[in-house]
Amino acid sequence: MNAPIIQANYHQLARIATIFARHAERSGELHRNLRRQTDALVGSAWQGEAAQRFHAEMDSELLPALRRLAEALDEAKSITWQICDILRTAENEAAALFRTERRETVQYGGGSDGFAAWLEEMSDGLAARLQEASDGLASMLTEVAAVLTGQSDCEGGTR
C-alpha cells in the first residue's frame, strides 16, 4: 500500500500566516474605530427609538461579530504557524531516518534485507507520530471553524 504524500510549501504557509495577521490587525482596528464612533453617536444629541435600536444592534451583534472575526483571523495565523512547525518537524524526523541509514544497515546485518527490516521498524514509529500530528491539526482546524462560525470563542468556550 502506498502511503499518502504530504508536502508543504513553507514560503506559501508563511505568506498565508502573514495575510491572516494583517487582516486580524485591520479587523481589530475597524472594531476599535466603530466602537469609538458608536460611543460618540450615543453620547451625542441623537435620541429616540431609532438611536436605541442602533446602539443595541451594534452592541449585541455587529461589534461582537467583528471582534470574533479579528480573534478568528489571529487564531488562524497562529494555527498556520503551528501547521508549518509540525510539518517541518515531521519532515526533519523523516529525513533523520535516512541520514542514519548507513549506520543502521550495518546494525541490521547489511544488505537490502537488513535495510528493509530497519525501515519497517522505523516507519512504524514515524507513522504513529505523523498520525498524532495529523490528529492535532484536525483538532485545531475544527476549533478555527467553530470560532469562524461563532460557535466558540478563541479561549475554547462555546457560545
How much is the pLDDT for 42? Answer: 80
Q: How confident is the model at residue 106, as a pLDDT?
A: 47
Q: What is the mean pLDDT of residues 94-104?
A: 68
The highest-level CATH class for domain 10-148 is mainly alpha
Q: Comparing 92 with 81, which gets the higher pLDDT?
A: 81
* Complete DSSP assignment for 110-134: SHHHHHHHHHHHHHHHHHHHHHHHH
pLDDT tens per residue across span 38-78: 988 888 888 889 888 998 999 999 999 999 999 999 999 99
The residue whose grid cell reads 470560532 is 147
Closest residue by Cα to residue 154 from 85, 84, 78 = 78
Question: How high is the pLDDT of residue 120?
Answer: 66
What is the pLDDT at residue 144? 75
